[in-house]
């Protein structure tokens, strides 16, 4: 077991290094410079001034040197400053990570709260009207682009209810009521897609499990439907669902990009996209590495949990 853990950890490191190379490479190959965005809609800056600015920001060093410097910054947990704002990246991250986490968690909760009951309903009433309705609703949820749903929601909230979530992000600790108002709609939009995928997965795994022998035995014994589903079937059906949700985490993070822009939330998704568009290399690289580390860690935990549960793997 010990060896297994070590092996898995050791394998994670090359993955992270490869991720960092991919991100670093992509950012450098992009046309345009953070400097040009910095100039804004200003006058043409002389080549001499541009060169000086470039030197100050360390952009004139050869690529491999820039990469190694940045790698050291990552490892020593001091990611340096944003090219654009000169603000330390840790400051930007401290402010934006809680926003995205809160958004993602709320979306997860809302999504699952809708998806699982509907999935159960669909599975137990397979091929009946409510099943069709559920499946159609789910697939519709999967067919609407995020930005379109978000735009519709915010526009019609303003027109019909003369209300939109209060702009100007307030943190959960400072002002919980305002904060919840701000996050409800965007979390619902984000969670909509997640709930669609989860609903279908719940339905299909539950269908499989309901056919298992032990469930049939329970039916034969005359146990009530409720008990069978919630006590026996659902528990086992949920394992692949949890795997799915874990896998959807990446999609969730990607979805925050668009939802954060439309609902004006200062989260990591918006930070990263704007940094890509402004060629603010340090921010993009740091953010993506952070997400990579998170995902790799999550995978590690999941794998280790499975290993712990499943003796076959443990003793490999």
Partner 1 sequence: MAIATAPARSFEAPVTEQISRIRSLWTVMKRKPLGMISAALILILVLTAIFANVLAPYDPLAAQPEIRLAPPSWAHPFGTDDIGRDVLSRVIFGSRISLWVALLAVGIGTSVGMVVGLVSGYWEGRLDLILQRLMDALMTIPGLILALAIVSVLRPSTTNAMLAIAMVIIPGNSRVVRGAVLSAKQNRFVEAAQAIGCRDYRIIASHILPNVTAPILILASIWLGNAILIEASLSFLGVGTQPPDPSWGLMLSSTGRAFMEQAPWLAVFPGAAISLAVFGFNLFGDTLRDAWDPKLRRKG
Partner 2 sequence: MPTDPRPAHSRSRVSRRDFLKRAGVGAAAMTPLIGGVTTRRASAQPTSPYPDWVPPSPKPPKRGKLLTRASAWDPPVLDPRLTNSVGLSQIATLTSNRLVRYPFSDEATSTTDLTLKGDLAESWQGSPDFRVWTFKLRKGVKWQNVAPLNGRELVAADIKYCYEQYAKEGVQSFTFQEIEGIETPEPYTVRIHLTKPNTMFPQNLAEPVSVIFAREVLEQDGDLKKRLIGTGPYILKEHTRKVRVVLARNPDYFEQGRPYIDEYHILSTPDAATRLAAFRSGQSDIHFVASLSDAGIVKKTNPDAQIQEYKTVQTVFGLALAQDKPPYNDVRVRRAISMAIDRQKQVDTLYGGHGILGWGIPYFYFQDKMPTAAQLGPYWQYKPAEAKKLLSEAGHPNGFETTLFYYEYFPEMTSQVQLVQQDLKKNLNIEIKISKLDYTTFYGRYAEGKWDGMSWGFKTGYATGLDEQTYQYMHSRSSKNYWRFSDSVIDELVTKLRQTPDKTEQKNLTKKVMEREHDQVTRMWMPYDAGFMVWQPYLRNTGSLALRRNDGYGASTLARLWIDK
Binding site for partner 1 (CB under 8 A): 11, 14-16, 18-19, 22-23, 26-27, 29-31, 127, 132, 135, 139-140, 142-148, 151, 155, 200, 204, 207-208, 211, 250-251, 253-255, 257-258, 272-273, 276-277, 284, 288, 291-292, 295-296, 299
Cα gap 124→308, rounded to integer Å: 32
What's the closest the beta carbon of residue 32 comes to partner 2, in angstroms? 4
Q: How far is CA 234 from CA 127, 218, 270, in A?
A: 19, 14, 37
Q: What part of residues 158-217 is at the interface with partner 2 (CB under 8 A)?
A: 158-159, 162-164, 166-169
- Residue 37's binding partner, choosing from partner 2, partner 1, none, with beta-carbon cut-off 5 to 8 A by kind? partner 2
Q: Decide if residue 135 touches partner 2 (CB under 8 A).
A: no
Instruction: Give kind and range of the element (H or E) at residue 52.
Output: helix 47-56
Q: Decide if residue 84 touches partner 2 (CB under 8 A).
A: yes
- Residue 11's binding partner, choosing from partner 1, partner 2, none, with beta-carbon cut-off 5 to 8 A by kind? partner 1
Residue the block writes with tokens 């910095």 = 38
**Choices 153-161, 205-213, 238-246, 287-295 (CB under 8 A): range interacting with partner 2:** 153-161
* 8 A C-beta contact, residue 197 and residue 248: yes
Give bridge partners of residue 292 from the DSSP assignment. none
Cα gap 295→297, rounded to integer Å: 5
Task: Provide CB contacts within 8 A for 244, sequence distance 6+.
Answer: 197, 198, 201
- Residue 16's binding partner, choosing from partner 1, partner 2, none, with beta-carbon cut-off 5 to 8 A by kind? partner 1
Q: How far is CA 281 from CA 54, 109, 141, 274, in A?
A: 13, 33, 35, 11
Number of residues binding to partner 2, judged by CB under 8 A: 48
What's the closest the beta carbon of residue 20 comes to partner 2, in angstroms? 22
Cα gap 193→199, rounded to integer Å: 10
Question: Which stretches of the chain bind partner 2, using CB under 8 A?
Answer: 30-34, 36-46, 49, 52, 84-87, 92, 95, 151, 154-155, 157-159, 162-164, 166-169, 261-264, 266, 270-271, 274, 277-279
């Amino acid at each position: 077991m010990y060896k297994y853990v070590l092996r898995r950890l050791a394998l994670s490191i090359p993955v992270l290094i490869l991720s960092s190379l991919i991100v670093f490479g992509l950012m450098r190959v992009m046309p345009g410079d953070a400097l040009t965005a910095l100039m804004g809609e200003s006058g043409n800056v002389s080549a001499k001034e541009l060169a000086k600015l470039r030197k100050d920001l360390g952009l004139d060093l050869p690529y491999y040197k820039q990469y190694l410097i940045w790698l050291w910054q990552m490892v020593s947990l001091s990611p340096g400053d944003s090219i654009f704002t000169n603000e330390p990246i840790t400051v930007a991250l401290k402010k934006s990570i809680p926003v995205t986490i809160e958004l993602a968690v709320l979306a997860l909760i809302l999504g699952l709260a809708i998806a699982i009951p509907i999935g159960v309903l669909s599975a137990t009433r397979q091929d009946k009207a409510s099943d069709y309705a559920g499946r159609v609703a789910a697939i519709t949820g999967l067919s609407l682009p995020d930005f379109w749903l978000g735009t519709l929601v915010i526009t019609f909230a303003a027109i019909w209810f003369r209300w939109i979530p209060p702009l100007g992000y307030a943190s959960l600790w400072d002002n919980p009521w305002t904060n919840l108002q701000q996050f409800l709609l965007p979390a619902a939009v984000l969670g909509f897609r997640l709930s669609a995928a989860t609903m279908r997965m719940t339905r299909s795994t539950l269908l499989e499990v309901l056919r298992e022998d032990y469930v049939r035995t329970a039916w034969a014994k005359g146990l009530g439907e409720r008990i069978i589903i919630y006590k026996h079937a659902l528990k086992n059906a949920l394992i692949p669902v949890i795997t799915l949700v874990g896998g959807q985490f990446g999609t969730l993070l990607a979805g925050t990009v668009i939802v954060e822009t439309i609902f004006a939330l200062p989260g990591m998704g918006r930070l990263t996209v704007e940094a890509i568009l402004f060629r603010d290399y340090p921010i993009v690289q740091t953010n993506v590495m952070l997400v990579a580390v998170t995902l790799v860690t999550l995978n590690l935990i999941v794998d280790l949990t499975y290993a712990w549960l499943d003796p076959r793997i443990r003793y490999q």
